[in-house]
Structures are given as C-alpha cells and as structure tokens.
A and B are shown apart, each in its own frame.
Chain A
Amino acid sequence: MIEPRVHPSGERVLEVENVEVAVAGKTILRDVNFHVVRGEFLCLLGPNGSGKSTLLKCFLGFVQPVRGTIRIFGDTPERARRRLGYLPQLKEFDRSFPATSVELVVASLRGEWPIRIANDERDKALAALKKVKAEKLADKPLRGLSGGETQRVFLARALVTDPDLLLLDEPAAGVDAAGREDLYGLLHEIAHCDHLAAVMVTHSVAAMDRTAEKIAFIDGTVRAFGLPQELFSDANLLARLGGHGPDGIAPK
C-alpha cells in the first residue's frame, strides 16, 4: 500500500459536489461528493453496475449529471478536456485499425490523425513511449501488440499532452498477468508523481494496492471515502464483513 503523503500544492484538481446521475431516466448515482488534489491518486472501487465507470464518464464530459456540479480546475469537464489524459479499457477500441503506436501518440498530441509526422512530433511521441517503456513499439502496428503493450502505448498517448488529471477506466482488464504487472509498475510511478493527479476505476486489489492514495467505494453513492490504511484496517474490514459501513468514514 502507498504511504499517505501531503501534497505540496493542495490545489483542488477535481471537485464533485452533490452529483446525481441518471441514465435512461434511472438514477444510478446520487449525493456524490469528494475532491482530488494535485498529485493524488484516487481509486474508485465498487461492484459491477455501481456507477463508477459512469462517474468517470461524467469527469470526461461524456455524461451530464442531472444535478450537482463537477469542476476540473474550476471549469466544466468539457472546457477542461485538454488538461485530461484518458486511458480506456482495452476492449473499447478497435485494435485492428491500420495504425502504428507512434501515429496514435502523435494523434493525441495534434488532436487529429497524422498523415505525415514531423521530426519534433516524433521526438515527443518517442519520449512519451519511453516513459512507459514502449519506445521499441513505436513503429509497430497496433494490431500486432499484446494487451499489455497496447495499454502501455495508450498510456503514452494519454501522457504525451502532459495532462494534469489522468482518468483510467479499468486499464488492466483483459490484460495478461505479465502485462498487468508492467502496467501496475507504471501506475505506481504515476502515483508517486507530485504534479499529476489520477482517478482510476478498478476491480483489482493488486492495482489498488500499488497505486491508491485514496479510495472511494461507490455503490449508487459514495459509501466510503478515505485512506486505504483506514478503510482496510482490521476493524473496518470486520465491520464491512458484518454488513455495516466502516465507522467514522463518511463520504467527504
């Protein structure tokens, strides 16, 4: 588990206030309140259908809350998009698309698909790929990459624009064991970064253990929010196993 630390700036990157979300007329999230400060790594945990991925889509501006506000650097998610990096699930994109890793990273840098890549753009893309230990994959077609390699390239794509907030939707789902371990190692490094905040939806205890500085249990609302050390203390685990919420850890 990551040791709790004080983030020097304390700047609020993401603020969620009284958010209620409905999909097709059905309320799936209500009274969601929390914030993330610069440099913090928050894991969203919860059962299937609990609304955590939908909440992440709200942060991306793809789903609009019916009530409440979401602010990213004090702005709406739509206006703050250029400050976001996003790593989707492996299953969400077409891996047979005729593209190389470097083209994908440059597309993120430019905001459009490249026909030709200038030297300076290639250098920036290679630097981003190097950060995720994928520089050797630069000129490989996406269709030839393993699940773990693909997610590393997509992480480079998310990081190349130097975002302030990284949003990750179950990044290791569908990735083999070796690929998962590589990915967790990279996410662990990101969790120790002071300027980049991250919110990750995950089901994986291993991913949470390597990355989470804060945890939010989501199940229709925020059931618990706090430090992993508090939420996973023996007393709280016992209370949860007994069907009661963790004492003293109310949604903040």
Chain B
Amino acid sequence: MMSWWTDYEFMRNALMAGALVGLLCAVLGVFVVQRNMAFFGEGLAHAAFGGVALGLLIDLASRSPALAWVKPIWVAFPFCIVVAWGIGWVRNRGFATEGTAVGVFFSVSVALGILFIHVKDGPVGDLEGYLFGNILAVRRIDVYAALVLTVIVGGILAVTWKRMAYIAFDRDLAKLSGIPVERYDYLLLTMMACVIVLSVRTVGVLLVSSFLIIPAATARILGGSLFAMTIKATAVGVACSAFGLVLSFYVDVPSGATVILTLAAGFTLALATSAVRGTRVEI
C-alpha cells in the first residue's frame, strides 16, 4: 500500500517538502488573511516568476562547478525579497496604496521574467514546472531547504508571534503599545517571500498564493482564537498538502493543482458545515 513511499525517492522528497511548505504557508497565511494581504501573496508569487527567469538567464550553475547547486529557484529568493521590501517601502512611505504598489511590482516582475526568458540563448529548462509545480523536480536539497526555512521561520515566530498578532489586529494600537510596526512588516514580508519561493517547486507560481490563503481562510471559518486559527490552519495545510500529493501520484495528475483542489474541498466543507450550523463568519 505504501509502495510509493519505499519505492520512489521523489515521492518521499515531494511529500516531506510539500508538508513543510504546507505548514509554513498556513502559519504565515493566518497573517495574510487577517491583514487582507491576499493580493500581496499573489504579487510575490508572480515576482518569484521574475526571479526564476533571472536565474535561468544568468544560469550560475553552468558557470562554475562550485556554483553547480545554484539552481534558478535560488536566484528567486533574493529577487522576491527585494520586490517584497520594495512594495512594503512604497506602501509605508505613503507613495501608493498596497494594492497599487503590488499591482505595479507584480506586472514589472512578470514583464522582466518574460524579457529574461526572451533574451536567453538556448533552452530555458523546466519553465512549465515553475509555473504549475512539478513534484518530480523536488530534490533532496529542496527538502533540506524546507527544513532549514521551517526552523528559521518557526524560531522567528516563536519570538514574535504575539506582536505580529497585535499588528494584525490593529497597526495603530500596536504602535501605541511600543511595537516597531514597520520593522515587523519587513520581517513578515521577508518570511512570506522565502516561503512563496520555496513553495513554487511544489505548487507553481500560478497557484502558490492559494497555498497561503485557503488553509487560513478554512481555519477562520472553523472559529476560535487567533492562536487556535493558526493551529487549525497548520493542520489543514499539512494534511491537504500530503493528501493532495499522494492523490496526484495515484491519479497521475499535476501535483500543484491537486493540492490546491484538495485545500479547496476542505474549505468548501468547512463553509458548508458552518452554514448548516449557523456559525458562518465573514472571511
């Protein structure tokens, strides 16, 4: 029954990386949903496309044996962080609203991505895999990266979660309580950028923002305090990621789409249950 686990290393890698990014996206997704930053998540996912395209263009892996490990996805990390900080800076300085800033950076990143791919000589590699997710592309190093990021993000949130939660409730009141709100904004944006880039392998650029939003939105329907919502979102994110990946293996369909549809099924079930119980909440 579990032959896929013992026989296929790529499935073990995909499942471990998928469960970890499911966890990370769910935990950060609670802040994304509470702070109405869904479009921000979408924008950063598209910025990841620009980053991957830049990675494909400069192709560091082929330039030196010492850089052989630098796949295009690694270039997307700094690229996406810079874009996230850029959006945050434009918003915090009041030059534009968050929606407008995301809209501009999002389009510019995608435009740059298209340009980078156009000017690159030769094959561009597994571009489709980056757009739609490809579990075959998940290697052992991606699992290690997910593990390292989980430890780092987990450590940061263990220290900052209570202050992040206060900011999510109300920025002004958090400021009045002495919390340096803007610094925490940049910290959250950095974590979001890293987690989104990491998730691109599993679900792809086009679907990654759903990975952030659906578990948290489902947890919000299920009710409870913000902390309970975080725990529930994590459970939903990890369980649906694992189930969706295994299902995609057996049915032989794209992994990213299957994971997102599994999450959507969980969301619909939670919504229907809350409607029947009369406990529907605004999400």
- Taking a contact as CB atoms under 8 Å apart, the answer to whether B163 and A113 are in contact is yes
Interface residue total, chain B, C-beta cutoff 8 A = 27
Nearest-Cβ distance from residue B104 to partner chain A, whole angstroms = 19
- Taking a contact as CB atoms under 8 Å apart, the answer to whether B223 and A93 are in contact is no
- Taking a contact as CB atoms under 8 Å apart, the answer to whether A97 and B177 are in contact is no
Bitwise interface map of A from 123 to 166 toward B, beta carbon under 8 Å scored 1, else 0? 00000000000000000000100000000000001000000000
Measured in the bound complex, the distance between the Cα atoms of B176 and A60 in whole Å is 7
Interface presence of A20 (CB below 8 A): no
Interface presence of B169 (CB below 8 A): yes
Interfacial chain A residues near B118, Cβ < 8 Å: none
- Taking a contact as CB atoms under 8 Å apart, the answer to whether B166 and A107 are in contact is yes
Minimum CB distance partner of A84 in chain B: B176
- Taking a contact as CB atoms under 8 Å apart, the answer to whether A93 and B224 are in contact is no
Interface presence of A225 (CB below 8 A): no
| Given contacts A84-B176, A112-B162, A99 and B227 within 8 Å (CB-CB) | no
- Taking a contact as CB atoms under 8 Å apart, the answer to whether A60 and B172 are in contact is yes
Q: Which of B124-155 contact A (CB under 8 A)?
A: none
Interfacial chain B residues near A62, Cβ < 8 Å: 172, 175
Bitwise interface map of B from 198 to 240 toward A, beta carbon under 8 Å scored 1, else 0? 0000000000000000000000100111111100000000000
- Taking a contact as CB atoms under 8 Å apart, the answer to whether A113 and B162 are in contact is yes
Interfacial chain A residues near B229, Cβ < 8 Å: 98
- Taking a contact as CB atoms under 8 Å apart, the answer to whether B179 and A98 are in contact is no
Interface centre among B34, B177, B227 (most CB of A within 10 A): B177
- Taking a contact as CB atoms under 8 Å apart, the answer to whether A98 and B162 are in contact is no
Minimum CB distance partner of A60 in chain B: B176
Minimum CB distance partner of A109 in chain B: B177
Minimum CB distance partner of B219 in chain A: A98
- Taking a contact as CB atoms under 8 Å apart, the answer to whether A112 and B179 are in contact is yes
Interfacial chain A residues near B114, Cβ < 8 Å: none
Interface presence of B173 (CB below 8 A): yes
Interfacial chain B residues near A61, Cβ < 8 Å: 175
| Given contacts A96-B281, A99-B225, A143-B282, A88 and B177 within 8 Å (CB-CB) | no
Interface bin, chain A: 20 to 34
Measured in the bound complex, the distance between the Cα atoms of B226 and A96 in whole Å is 11
Nearest-Cβ distance from residue B208 to partner chain A, whole angstroms = 25
Measured in the bound complex, the distance between the Cα atoms of B173 and A84 in whole Å is 11
Interface presence of B165 (CB below 8 A): yes
Interfacial chain A residues near B169, Cβ < 8 Å: 93-94, 97, 99, 104, 107, 113
Interfacial chain B residues near A88, Cβ < 8 Å: 170, 172-173
Interface presence of B122 (CB below 8 A): no
Measured in the bound complex, the distance between the Cα atoms of B171 and A94 in whole Å is 11
Contact of B176 among A24, A81, A112 (CB under 8 A): A81
- Taking a contact as CB atoms under 8 Å apart, the answer to whether B172 and A86 are in contact is yes
Interface presence of B278 (CB below 8 A): no
| Given contacts A96-B281, A113-B166, A143-B281, A108 and B223 within 8 Å (CB-CB) | no
Minimum CB distance partner of A115 in chain B: B227
Bitwise interface map of B from 169 to 194 toward A, beta carbon under 8 Å scored 1, else 0? 11011011111000000000000000
Residues of chain A touching chain B, judged by Cβ–Cβ distance below 8 Å, are 24, 60-62, 81-82, 84, 86, 88, 92-94, 96-100, 103-104, 107-108, 110-115, 143, 157
Q: List 12 A-B contacts (CB under 8 A).
A: A62-B175, A81-B175, A81-B177, A92-B172, A93-B173, A98-B223, A98-B228, A98-B229, A112-B177, A114-B162, A115-B227, A143-B281
